[in-house]
A and B are shown apart, each in its own frame.
Chain A
Amino acid sequence: GAVVSQHPSWVICKSGTSVKIECRSLDFQATTMFWYRQFPKQSLMLMATSNEGSKATYEQGVEKDKFLINHASLTLSTLTVTSAHPEDSSFYICSASEITSSGGHIQYFGAGTRLSVL
């Protein structure tokens, strides 16, 4: 299957600082990428849909000014958590969408980034 690389895998930062997470599709081009967050023992929650060359679409309740998304190329999307606070500590996961030969769409996921805000 296709490979999605996410970096860093783990980050610790002080409250008030900003953190950038990168998501790259390594062997395919992804017009659309997605960002999720996951709390312990819970399911993935979609935060936003990122489209190359346009503004991201955020899910209800997700602050777009706090979670800045940039999708500048067909292989790279970034999520910046601005002015991070302890409540932003979570597991952030990205995915990239690939169209199959039969017309379906498969999302391939990165390994995730564990963010801990002190």
Chain B
Amino acid sequence: LAKTTQPISMDSYEGQEVNITCSHNNIATNDYITWYQQFPSQGPRFIIQGYKTKVTNEVASLFIPADRKSSTLSLPRVSLSDTAVYYCLVGEENTGFQKLVFGTGTRLLVSP
């Protein structure tokens, strides 16, 4: 079973900020939180990864509270091309790698 829970779908408009929250109540001490974006018939694309507090890169920000039981992906000023499925994943720690179990993801629809 996936270790995360996130909304099935979200709607937004161009230029708005979109925040997608993910719950991971059973996150383990060694687990990182990673977000991916997937377009139809393509492999997932890495967006951002964090362990605690806030992480920001050129495309998104990731907010992680102190208890790490949830995280929020923030997409500033979305465009139509941001319409995609967004997956929140918590790595399942193994020796030397982390196995990912994909949940249903959040289907984001950006309208004009």
Instruction: List residues of A whose CB falls within 8 A of some B CB.
Output: 1, 4, 6, 31-32, 34, 36, 43-46, 49, 91, 93-95, 97, 100, 102, 104-112, 114
Q: Which residues of B contact A31 (CB under 8 A)?
A: 96-97
Q: Is B112 an interface residue (CB 8 A)?
A: no
Instruction: List residues of B whose CB falls within 8 A of some A CB.
Output: 32, 34, 36, 41-46, 49, 51, 87, 91, 96-105
Q: Which residues of B contact A105 (CB under 8 A)?
A: 32, 91, 97-98
Contact A97 B97 (CB under 8 A): yes
Number of cross-chain contacts by CB at 8 Å: 64
CA distance A108 to B44 in the complex (A): 8
A106 interface neighbour in B41, B49, B96, B99, Cβ under 8 Å: B49
Q: Which residues of A contact B34 (CB under 8 A)?
A: 104, 106-107
- Where chain B touches its partner, the secondary structure class is loop
Q: Which residues of B contact A4 (CB under 8 A)?
A: 43
6 CB-based A-B contacts, threshold 8 Å: A31-B97, A91-B41, A97-B98, A107-B46, A107-B98, A111-B43
Contact A43 B103 (CB under 8 A): yes
A32 interface neighbour in B36, B97, B102, B104, Cβ under 8 Å: B97
Contact B43 A93 (CB under 8 A): yes
Contact A104 B32 (CB under 8 A): yes
Evaluate whether A104 and B49 lie within 8 angstroms (CB atoms) in the complex, with A43-B102, A43-B103, A43-B104 already known: yes
CA distance A79 to B104 in the complex (A): 25
Contact A108 B46 (CB under 8 A): yes
Contact B102 A100 (CB under 8 A): no
Evaluate whether A1 and B46 lie within 8 angstroms (CB atoms) in the complex, with A105-B32, A106-B34 already known: yes
CA distance A112 to B41 in the complex (A): 7
Q: Which residues of A contact B100 (CB under 8 A)?
A: 34, 46, 107
Q: How far does the Cβ of B16 sit from chain A's closest Cβ, in whole Å?
A: 26
Q: How far does the Cβ of B88 sit from chain A's closest Cβ, in whole Å?
A: 12
Q: How far does the Cβ of A25 sit from chain B's closest Cβ, in whole Å?
A: 13
CA distance A79 to B91 in the complex (A): 23
- Whose C-beta in chain A lies nearest to the C-beta of B48? A106
Contact B41 A114 (CB under 8 A): yes
